[in-house]
Structure 1
């Protein structure tokens, strides 16, 4: 049973160890492309003359339960979160949604946020956010010609970089999915398959210790028998 169970789960154990090695060998800052983020000094918000929150919410037609005012590349913005549905982002100056951006504007915002000398190789508007971004709604994708194949995902409203992905991130994500045995989206690491496989792996370890103890006890017994026979009368 020890051998057969080991044969069944051995490949997954290899994935666990190999994937674990990859995940600890690559710094998480590199996976997140933090070294590709240009340093930017936060600028104080000019609050003078801005409409009040009640006026902003009225213009946007939103009854928010949570709000956030912050600076963006396109000026100050309110994020208004209603009780249900997606948050609404509006200009803190006008109270209206930001005007659409051109590809050139998106490219300029992304290059300003990028650290490095690589040029932009492509700008694309995506009607729905790719799964790898962990976001919803439309996004702009800006690709850079660096060795890591870095991609910045930019908000079509504010021009902010809301997600960063690269070939290193995708390699890490591949091994993470193997590691947690969730090949769909890598989000569920409490599903029955990994629990069963882990329990079987534990049984291999325990049975291996038991078999080792039996083998050692048998060898000791044989050694003692040989020693007694070799003892002179």
Structure 2
């Protein structure tokens, strides 16, 4: 049959082209369902925050801080950080400026010992800090820009805390589990460079081809079942009473 032959050929060759990616989709889906997202995000390694409210009465006014920092903010946020209360001043143009809410000036450089201590305070568990290093540029896995402190812990997940070099706050957490998950995520969405774009033409084309495999597979199954049923009925009639 022409339809059967065409469906069979199309099914075979398209399956050969996209079969490996289908395997990645299934494998990636298995990884994503087996590993809880909370574990991927290292939420079980985040200690509960114990910071108290900021005593506004003891601090200079926002206007005084902004004047000393030399920033005319259109938006400002006051928060408690490991290095003390801090203002994030957002000007109309340019990047936000983080300054001490006490002095109105940027925080001074942070040592490796301070970074380790701040990370250890935010860490839940008994593992020791194995390394602390100031990175001039944020790694891609952080999804951030600018310098960051990287603090590694000697636990079984190889947990890494990334800290703001200004305030000592933990800005993101990564681990071996996250990197394993991220590897399969990139394979899953076919964005091997950044792991962020899941609407690109390659995955759309591959999905369309995979859909054609399913459709041709259904056609083949229907034709073969119909043929087998016809042969079965014929054999029943041939073997029946004369």
Which category of TM-score, normalised to the shorter sequence, fits these structures?
over 0.9
Deviation string 1:117-170 (CA, Å, 9 cap, x unpaired) is 111111101111111111111111111111111111111110111111110010
2:97 is the alignment partner of 1:61: no
Aligned partner of 1:193 in structure 2 is: 202
- Classify the secondary structure of the residue corresponding to 2:134: strand
- Classify the secondary structure of the residue corresponding to 1:71: strand
Provide the aligned length of Structure 1 versus Structure 2.
233
2:181 is the alignment partner of 1:172: yes
Aligned partner of 2:6 in structure 1 is: none
For structure 1, the residue ranges without an aligned partner over 5 or more in a row are none
CA distance in structure 2 between the aligned counterparts of 1:65 and 1:3, rounded to whole angstroms? 61
Mapping of 1:116-195 within 5 angstroms? 116-195=125-204
Mapping of 1:84-99 within 5 angstroms? 84-99=93-108
TM-score under structure 2 length normalisation: 0.93
Per mean C-alpha deviation after superposition, the further-off stretch among 35-44 and 197-206 is 35-44
- Classify the secondary structure of the residue corresponding to 2:38: helix
CA distance in structure 1 between the aligned counterparts of 2:54 and 2:87, rounded to whole angstroms? 12
RMSD value, Cα = 1.1
CA distance in structure 2 between the aligned counterparts of 1:134 and 1:64, rounded to whole angstroms? 25
TM-score under structure 1 length normalisation: 0.96
Per mean C-alpha deviation after superposition, the further-off stretch among 84-93 and 7-16 is 84-93
CA distance in structure 2 between the aligned counterparts of 1:129 and 1:143, rounded to whole angstroms? 15
Higher relative contact order (CA 8 A, sep 6+): 2
2:32 is the alignment partner of 1:23: yes
How many angstroms does 1:82 deviate by? 2.4
Aligned partner of 1:227 in structure 2 is: 236
Aligned partner of 1:77 in structure 2 is: 86
CA distance in structure 2 between the aligned counterparts of 1:153 and 1:118, rounded to whole angstroms? 16
Moved over 3 A (4+): none
